[in-house]
Each structure stands twice: as structure tokens, then as C-alpha cells.
Structure 1
Amino acid sequence: MIERRTTRQVMAGCVPIGGDAPVTVQSMTNTDTRDVEATLRQIRALEDAGCEIIRLAVLDGECAEALKKIVPGAKVPLVADIHFDYRLALAVMEAGIAKVRINPGNIGSEARVREVVSSAKDHGVPIRIGVNGGSLPKDILARYGGPTPEALYEATMGHVKLLEKFNFQNIVLSLKASSAELTVRSTERISRACDYPLHIGVTEAGTSFSSTVKSSVGIGALLLQGIGDTIRVSITGDPVEEVKVGKAILKSLGYGKAGLEMISCPTCGRCQYNVEKVVREVERRLDPKLPLKVAVMGCVVNGPGEAREADLGIAGGKGSGILFMKGEKVKTVPESRYVEELVKAAENLAAAKRS
């Protein structure tokens, strides 16, 4: 059992971040925020995939104005991503945004920061300080010779102290880089220094394959230490994929809500049927919210024992296989009915668990 690092808790709308709250999965829309309908369609797709917090880019006043229509149409808290223009931060809070992501150091004078903080206090909106290894201040880069864990830490703490100067502690922190190692080392360091909740993820991680690898390594390394209160997997492409990978990372570590977990063997020369095809079809047909571990194994001899922790599964061979529950044989099944028998048994078992 992973022991979570204790952090103070903040609220993004109705969703708690930190404290004893579950680790949440975030994503970010890639639509033009000024296009209200397109943005709402993507928000609904993300919500359907299980996304719990959604961030949107706010580039200008037209984006901020569009949020007045977008916010009421969302079921989950929305976060405004803002750079440079402090007036946008003020506008989105008036529009009902649940959280703001800024770098306090790049929105101008202390007077402007104070104005943003005052509005955040009035609206009960937390501020996420997001520091990126690719956009550190020049003086810090010169001092450390590049983006190092120490450089990201110093930049972050500078922003923290600025907000604390105005007696503001409703803060979430994130230190990200395109390197999984730099992300991990930086986040480890900040986690030892303060108890603000942490949003974690490897940024600019690439397309689905490379991002899944980098994110699993970086996010997983931190979560295994109990570090991290909310996560985002950054993928170049459909943001719904970010949510799917994020949920899978949490599930693999025992975090997150119960849901369907597929177990399947990596296949070898002993397999005499198309294991991958059966796994994909079973996964497609079963409700992802079913609280079950379902196995598809390629060997009748070893399969049930190797998947003993599964609730049920098929251990198949050429022509026939066995349906098993908790490693024990239930019945023999013809190869042509592997999918149908496993889906039916899984749905029946889930219904029995609910009753």
C-alpha cells in the first residue's frame, strides 16, 4: 500500500485536490476556446472518458468572454491557462472559472499580482503555479547552466513567495519538463520543501506511444513515493487518450476508482489462438466501469494459475479452452465462443457483486 504524502487541500470547484482526496486525472482541450460549440463537444468527450478537471487555453479577451458560455455547460471544474496578461486572469474569474494556471512572475508588476490574488481570494479560486523546464527565466538558466532540478525549484519558490507575500496559500504547484528524470527530481525536491498539493506530469512528451512511456515512468515514479495529487498525461493528439492513459497509470498502482482491468499474457509459441483479437473484443464489449479483473490467457495449462488474481478469465487453446474464476475451472468453452462466454460471465459476476 502506497503511503501518500500529506498535503494541504484546495478546492477546484467541487473537486478537492490534495489532503486525503483521491488523485485526479486532468486533461486540456486543444480546440480554439473562442469556438464555444467545438470546445463544449470536446469537454463532453473528456467528461465521458472520466476526466475530472479540464484546462483551457485563454489567449485573449474573446476566449475569456467565451468562458461565460462554456463554464455553465461543463460538469467538471474548468481551469484557465493564462500567460502574461493579468487582465485575463481577472476576467476568467468573473466568468466562473474554478482554477487559474499562471506564472506570477510573468504577468507584470507586484501590483498586478496583488490584484489577481485579491480577485482569487474573493472568488475562492486556487492558483496553480506552473513552471516548465523549457521556459525558465534567463537569470536562473545562467546561474545553473540550464534547466536543472535546482533551477526549476528556485523558479517555483520565487513564485510561491510572491503569492505568500500577499497572504495567499490557495496554491497548487507543478514542475514539468520533457525529461522524465528532470520532472521527477524537481518534483521530489519541491515536495520536501512545502506542503502545497502537486500537479504532476511529463510535458511535451510526444505522440501517444512516446508519451505513454515517458508519462508512465515519470508519473509512476512519483506516485510510488506518494507524491502527486493530480496528474496529466501530455499527448500530441486527441486529449481523450490522455485521460485513458492517466486512468490506466492510476489503476496500475492501486489508485483511482474501481473499474475494468484486463489481464492478458504477452503470448509465446505455445499460443494457438489469436489472444490479442479476443482481448480487444472483450475490452470493447465490457463496460469500463465494471469493478472486475478479467483475464485472457493463451495457455490452458498455466493460464488459470498465472491469472489467479483475476476475477475470471479464459485460458484458451486451439479449438477449445476453459472459463475459470479465481484460478478454478468453471467449464470448457469452444474457441468460437471465447468472447461471448467471457463477456456474459463478467456481466453476471458484476451484477452479482452489485446486488
Structure 2
Amino acid sequence: MTINRKNTKKIYVGDVPVGGNSDITVQSMTTTITKDIASTVNQIWELESCGCDIIRCAVNDTDDALAIGEIKKHTKIPFIADIQYDYKLALAAAENGADAIRLNPGNIGASWKIKEVLKACSDKNIPIRVGVNSGSIKKEFFDKFGGVNSSSICYSALEEIELLEANGFFDIAVSLKASDVLLTIESYRKFSELSDYPLHLGVTEAGPPSKGIIKSAVGIGALLAEGIGDTIRISLTSNPVDEVKAGNDILKTLNLKKHGVNLISCPTCSRTKVDLISLVEEAEKELDKIDKDITVAIMGCAVNGPGEAKEADYGIASGDGEGLIFKKGEIIKKVPEEKLLEELLKEIEK
């Protein structure tokens, strides 16, 4: 099954396209102090290595902005500067090499300040992501639409966009986030009907991984399945590596991203005679290191594998203290339990 994606406008964040027919990208945000260049670079390296496409860093002062150029010398993925309120920081970020700016134009202040930021971004082909969430709705729309809902969120975003368009700026991406999953879905659906700007999807303040990944998979996954969304961020109270892994897993689950191993495994039951949980946990760690577009199945008994998992590229069908290694449904060898993962990895390496 193929998802029919909405054809939005295409922008470029550095050399990475967002929107149109481009691949959906995964973003995250550093937790380091941006002006601590060594720490920030190290964290970006870690995120790059696990599949992050675009990184965002908070720019809280001039030193943060000045650090951007040096950070970019040592990293590969595009850099988004996250700006709150101070237009001078947006100007400094643009001057020092930011590939995109995240801000709310309405928070910048006087119209001349907005114009200066837009000119700086236009001169350097820097897009702006307009971000509106359930906590930043303008009072006018809060009152008009009776509180926090998809209409007040969407029209708050549209007003921010109009501030940019009125000054001839159209290099825009939009996010409309809420911590409530259903409100997030409804807001993005409504906005997608009203505009063709590329959409940055996210469920804000989703919480720790145990809760936040579920919320994000439901909210972001539902929208992606409908063809809505061009770039995503999983917002977790955790190491940002967890955000990137979860984002890529959501895309792979929907066949929107092909790189990396798709691991499938069965739930345990009384037929399982090996330590399947430990086997799968160890396999997950090892398979995360492999950049191949393959499906690997680890099954607890002959009922589930290779029969039900015959379409997997490689797999294990466990028995009583031993198991079968199979490829495309064909049994290759029988090995003892303690050798199952080792022998599976050997076959994949071939």
C-alpha cells in the first residue's frame, strides 16, 4: 500500500529539501548549551549517526549565535536556530550561518524588526518555521473561537504567516502542536485544507519515552498515513537520540523510509522454549548498527517462523534450546540457542 502525500510547497533547509515530493525528514533538538561548541558538536554527531536529518539548537544570546559557524564546520546536517522574542538574535543567527530560523513573527515586536529579519533571511535564502502551539494562541482567536481548539490554533498560525507574506516572504514551514493528541491531529488536518505550506509534525510536551513515543506514534502516524506532513520531531523528555530513533521507526512502519533493518518478533507464549525476550533485546542493539533495507524476524517457535514470517529476508525460528536460521522462508541451518544471534548476523553480513 502506498500513501498519497499532499503536494506541499518545497523549501530547502540547507541542502535538505522539505515538502513537495521530498522524503520526510526527522528532526531533533540539542540539549546542550549551544555556545559550548564541543558539547554541541558531539551531540550532533551522535544524532547524525542514528539518522537525524536536521538539527535545531536554542539561540539564547549572542554567544550562541556566534557559535553557529564553528558548529557547522564540524557537522553535516542543516542547523535551525530557535529564536524567542529577540530579533537581534535572529539577525545574528542568519549572519553566522543558520540554515533556517524558528520563530513566531508576532513575538518579534515592531514591524520594522520583522522586516529586518525577513530581509536577512531573504538575502541568504534562509527559510522560517512559524511555530504555533496550544499555549501560544493569540487572545483574539482564543475569544473568537471559544478557547483552545483547532480553529484558534490554525488561524493564529495563518495570521503569523500573513505577517511574512505581507513583506514578500514565502519561504515558510509551519508547525501547529498540542500536547493533546486528538487536538494535534485535528489542527494539522484543518490547516492542511487551508494552506499548502510544508508541515512540521509533532505532539508537543509528549513526556517520557514510555508515554511520549505512544502519543507521537498515534498522532504523527495518523497524519502521515493520511498524507499530511513533511518533516517530524518526536518531543520526549529523554536523550534526543530516543527522539530520532522513534521518528525513524514511525516512518519505517508506514513504509515512508526504507533505510535500516525492520525487526519483527512475536510475543512470547507457552510454546516458546528459549529466552526470546533477551534474544530480541540483544538483536535490536546489533541490528541498529546495520544500514540495510531488510526485514529480520525473530520468532519464538515453528508456528510463527518461518511460516508466518516467510516474507522476512532473514530470521530465527526458535525451538527447545535451539533454533533454525532461515532466509526468505527457506531453512539454512539449525544452531543451539547460544549461537542463534551470532549465526543470524553472519548470514546478514554475507
Report the TM-score range of the alignment, normalised by the length of the smaller protein: over 0.9
Contact map agreement 1:294 1:346 (CA 8 A) in 2: no
Give the Cα–Cα distance (whole angstroms) in 2 for the partners of residues 230 and 302 of structure 1.
Answer: 36
Q: CA RMSD in A?
A: 1.2
Query: Structure 2: which 5+ runs fail to align?
Result: none
Q: How many residues align?
A: 348
Choose from 281, 301, 304 the match for 1:302. 304
Return the letter of the residue paired with 1:48. Answer: S
**Once the 2 structures are TM-superposed, how far is the Cα of residue 280 of structure 1 from its aligned partner?**
2.0
Quick one: distance in 2 between partners of 1:27 and 1:302? 37
Q: Is the counterpart of residue 320 in structure 1 residue 319 in structure 2?
A: no
- The residue identity in structure 2 corresponding to 1:39 is T
Identical-residue share of aligned pairs (%): 48
Q: Aligned with 2:303: secondary structure?
A: coil
Equivalence map 1:1-355=2 (5 Å) = 1-286=2-287, 287-348=289-350
Conserved? CA contact 2:266–2:304, under 8 Å: no
Deviation at 1:328, TM superposition (A): 2.5
Q: Counterpart of 1:162 in structure 2: which amino acid?
A: L
Q: Distance in 2 between matches of 1:301 and 1:240?
A: 36
- What residue identity is the alignment partner of 2:291? K
Q: 1:80-136 CA deviation, whole Å, 9 max, x = no partner?
A: 011111111111000010000010111001211111111111010000001011222
Partner of 1:353: none
1:195-252 Cα deviation digits (max 9, x unpaired):
1111001010001111100000011001001111000000112101100000100000
In 1, the alpha carbon distance for the partners of 2:294 and 2:254 equals 16
**Matched residue of 1:302: which SS?**
helix
Distance in 1 separating the partners of 2:180 and 2:164: 28
- Unaligned ranges ≥5, structure 1: 349-355
* Alpha-carbon distance between aligned partners in 1 of 2:135 and 2:93, rounded to the nearest angstrom: 26
Which stretch has the larger CA shift, 298-307 or 206-215? 298-307
Q: Which amino acid aligns with 1:81?
A: D
Provide the rounded CA distance (Å) in 1 between the counterparts of 2:303 and 2:333. 14
In 1, Cα distance between the equivalents of 2:313 and 2:6?
31
Q: Using a 3 Å threshold, how does the CA distance of structure 1 residues 221 and 301 change in structure 2: closer, same or farther?
A: closer
